[in-house]
Amino acid sequence: MRTHYCGQVTEVLESQKVTVAGWVHRRRDHGGVIFIDLRDRSGLVQVVVNPDDADKFAKAERVRSEYVLKVEGQVCARTPETINPKMVTGKVEIVADSIEILSASDPIPFQLDDKNISEEVRLTYRYLDLRRDEMQQAMKTRYKVTRSMRRYLDDNGFMDMETPILTKSTPEGARDYLVPSRTHPNKFFALPQSPQLFKQLLMMSGFDRYYQITRCFRDEDLRADRQPEFTQLDIETSFMTEEEVMDMMEGLAKTIFREAVDVNFDYEFPRMPYSEAIEKYGIDRPDLRIPLQLVDVADLLQDIEFKVFSGPAKDPMGRVAALRVPQGGTLSRKEIDDYTKFVSIYGAKGLAYIKVNDLAAGLDGLQSPIVKFFPDQAMEIMQRVGAEDGDIVFFGADNAKIVNEALGALRCKLGEDLGLIEKEWAPVWVVDFPMFEMDEKTARLTAIHHPFTQPKATTEEILNHDKPELMLSRAYDLVINGIEVGGGSVRIHDTKMQAAVLKMLGISDEEAKDKFGFLLNALKYGCPPHAGMAFGLDRLVMLMANRDSIRDVIAFPKTQSAACMLTEAPGVVDDGQLADLDLRFRKPARD
């Protein structure tokens, strides 16, 4: 059918006969000579059709954009004035000897070079959207990443092993997608949120080093970096500490960046405790490209009469923090109001600020509606945050979670808006996570990572700990440019410790046996110390391909409402299929 891809037709093939096939990207008629830009996944090549053969020329006159052609011809050098330096094939063209129309095309609903196509249209006609160069490049990057992952792990003694897609619903994590069983009436499978338990069982089975590029499913609210079904690189190892796992996974990250996007990290990734990340950046996935940091000032404001600040300053669950923005004093009132509206998304009730006009003038050099409430502390605060003339200092005062989320998000937005990003890439390992956190809705402990993560404590310390939310875990996340691209932990390999953690989470012995009995039983029969990690492939490729949404690096993604515009899924099924499953529709309740 063809001898070369379009993008392979370069000057090295000059004077040779070639056969290419692809889509008509563009057709131009220049006074009796027709030029066709033919496209396949490798790129474009220009085809010249001369009027020396009436049948061939007639075919060329009929073709339109997105027709599929087969072209045979001779590779010829372009004249100097017609060379296109922006194309790999720009020094040559194919002078057509024959043209075959393999497939015609109706007029397409949008032009492939249109930059303003709505996402709804793009997803409805995804097969056309994927023909666009930027989507082709994104999919190629994804392929390069997975190829590099497999090669690195194969070279380091890992085995690619599959785990079940139809599995059992467990009570932890996000909501499961359920699949009714026809052969077991009134019982359900669940699609896996991750292969966590199975990969631990593989370690207990003696396979030592496992990996899998696998599909996972979570029935949760979506956003730009989430999908109901997603892909992750899943890894588990035996007889390795968290330090060894992180070193090996850092090697993996460096390898895929080098091989897929030609980025070289010639340094060790820094490691930052979770507590430091929250204190300085308000978030456990800090974007270290941005130099701005949060600074605690609660100790200076506990005794003032201004309760907006003194209340959170005295509250053990509160926080008062300042965020200095170098030369941010040029921000207008409207811009400050816009940032105030922005932080309200995260629950902040306002955004106090001080503009630093002239530090040498003392209080008179500070412009702010709030300085009058703490005149004795204002200059000390300026000194603590390192303020200089021309700066603006923003403040957050509220529940610590609200302050962290609001100022953490504001920090990143200011970094982007004001051009404060100092480097292209900033990887960091975040370590020493808390083992547990309190769920505000249910008032019960939950595991920050998952309940199979090993705490930095003995079984006895777990059972007798009076403040479990202060207990640390042997967990680690890899963050790049403020995006968590992977996370993992050392797992519990002792039955008693696992039982103690489940008990701490309020999971009864009966429920533990019902949901995790197979794991608890397996732990009894010689379980090796083991640890692992998972990389979010979609999120990682989104970052490497410089895209804003993981939908742009997934061939056939779902919308934010978890629907497929292309196939119109989810859809209705007929009564016969429901009857096979002993299911029926329940009519919605009426008022």
Supply 268's token pair: 């060790």
The C-alpha atoms of residue 325 and residue 294 are separated, in whole angstroms, by 10
- 463 in a labelled binding site: no
Report residue 153: phi and psi, to 5°. Answer: -70, -40
Report residue 340: phi and psi, to 5°. Answer: -65, -40
- 227 in a labelled binding site: yes
Supply 419's token pair: 């051009």
- 319 in a labelled binding site: no
- 539 in a labelled binding site: yes
The C-alpha atoms of residue 505 and residue 436 are separated, in whole angstroms, by 9
Angle between helices 400-417 and 333-344 (to 10 degrees): 130
| One-letter amino acid of 165 | I
Q: Render the burial of 232-260: b for 16+ CB within 10 Å, e for the rest.
A: bbbbbbbebebeebbebbbebbbbbbebb
The C-alpha atoms of residue 553 and residue 536 are separated, in whole angstroms, by 12
CB count in 10 Å sphere of residue 369: 9
CB count in 10 Å sphere of residue 307: 12
Supply 571's token pair: 């859809």
- 511 in a labelled binding site: no
- The 3-state DSSP class for residue 454 equals coil
Distances (CA, A) of 437 to 49, 467, 468, 483: 70, 11, 8, 21
Supply 34's token pair: 């027709």
The C-alpha atoms of residue 180 and residue 577 are separated, in whole angstroms, by 11
- Residues whose CB is less than 8 angstroms from the CB of residue 478 and which lie 6 or more positions away in sequence, other chains included: 249, 250, 253, 269, 427, 428, 429, 484, 485, 486, 487, 533, 535
Strands (E), 241-385: 271-273, 294-296, 318-325, 352-356, 366-367
| One-letter amino acid of 80 | P
The C-alpha atoms of residue 297 and residue 431 are separated, in whole angstroms, by 25
Supply 32's token pair: 């009796």
- The 3-state DSSP class for residue 155 equals helix
- 491 in a labelled binding site: yes
- The 3-state DSSP class for residue 183 equals coil
- 536 in a labelled binding site: yes
- 301 in a labelled binding site: no
> From the annotation, which residues make up the binding site for ATP?
218-220, 227, 484, 536-539
> From the annotation, which residues make up the binding site?
172, 218-220, 227, 449, 484, 491, 536-539
> From the annotation, which residues make up the binding site for L-aspartate?
172, 218, 449, 491
